Amino acid sequence: MLVSANIGTQRKTPMTLAKSGSEVLTKEEWDELVALKEAISYAPQTVSAEKMEKFAELMVRTLEGKESNCPR
């Protein structure tokens, strides 16, 4: 039995990548990234969708600029 889900109606706001203007994380942002990583690893069901998005944003920011160092 196939059940279709309308995912678009479940989100109140669309996911967007925040433009911080800075590739380098501050100490507070780095601490938040580590805390979120640990929470997600320990019990992902306890982390809200907004915090998951914040984790993704911070993770992407740590990777910005590193693609130039990748071998091709």
* Average pLDDT of span 66-72: 58
| CA-based end-to-end distance of the chain | 45
Residue 59 pLDDT exceeds 60:
yes
Q: What pLDDT, in 10s, does the model give residues 2-48? A: 555 554 555 555 555 555 555 688 999 999 999 999 999 999 999 99
The Cα-based distances of 4 to 1, 8, 9, 53 in angstroms read 10, 12, 12, 24
pLDDT at 28: 95
Q: Which of 5-9, 49-53, 54-58 has the lowest mean pLDDT?
A: 5-9
Which single residue is written with the structure tokens 């889900």?
5
Residue of 55, 50, 68 whose CA lies nearest to 25: 55
